[in-house]
Amino acid sequence: MISKELILKNLDNTIDKTQFDFGSFKKGKVRDNYILDDKLIMIATDRQSAFDRILANVPFKGQVLTQTSVFWFENTEDIIQNHKIAHPDPNVVVCKKLTVFPVEVVVRGYITGVTNTAVWTAYKSGVRNFCGNPLPDGLKKNQKLEKPIITPTTKSKDHDEKISGKDVLKRNLMTKDQWEYVSKKAIELFKRGTEIAKQNGLILVDTKYEFGYDDKGNIYLIDEIHTPDSSRYWIKDTYKKRFEKGEEPENIDKEFLRLWFKKNCDPYNDKVLPEAPDSLVVELSRRYIMLYEMITGNEFAPRTGNLKQEIKKNIQEYLEDAE
What does the pLDDT look like over 113-136, one tens digit per residue?
887 789 999 999 999 999 999 999
50 in Cβ contact with 267 (< 8 Å): yes
Q: For residue 159, is pLDDT > 70? A: no
Torsion of CA 74, 75, 76, 81, to 10 degrees: 20
Instruction: Over range 1-17, report the average pLDDT.
Output: 95
Q: For residue 157, is pLDDT > 70? A: no
pLDDT of res. 158: 61
The alpha carbon of 266 is separated from its chain's Cα centroid by a whole number of angstroms, namely: 26
Q: Report which residue type is found at 161.
A: E
What does the pLDDT look like over 258-308, one tens digit per residue?
889 989 999 889 999 999 999 999 999 999 999 999 999 999 999 999 999
Instruction: Over range 54-79, report the average pLDDT.
Output: 97
Model confidence pTM above 0.75: yes
| CATH fold of 4-99+251-322 | Phosphorylase Kinase; domain 1 (3.30.200)
- Rounded distance, CA 120 to CA 248, Å? 13
| CATH fold of 100-212 | D-amino Acid Aminotransferase; Chain A, domain 1 (3.30.470)
**Percentage of the chain with pLDDT > 90?**
89
Q: For residue 105, is pLDDT > 90? A: yes
pLDDT of res. 31: 96
Instruction: Over range 60-64, report the average pLDDT.
Output: 98
Listed by start position, the domains of the chain span 4-99+251-322, 100-212
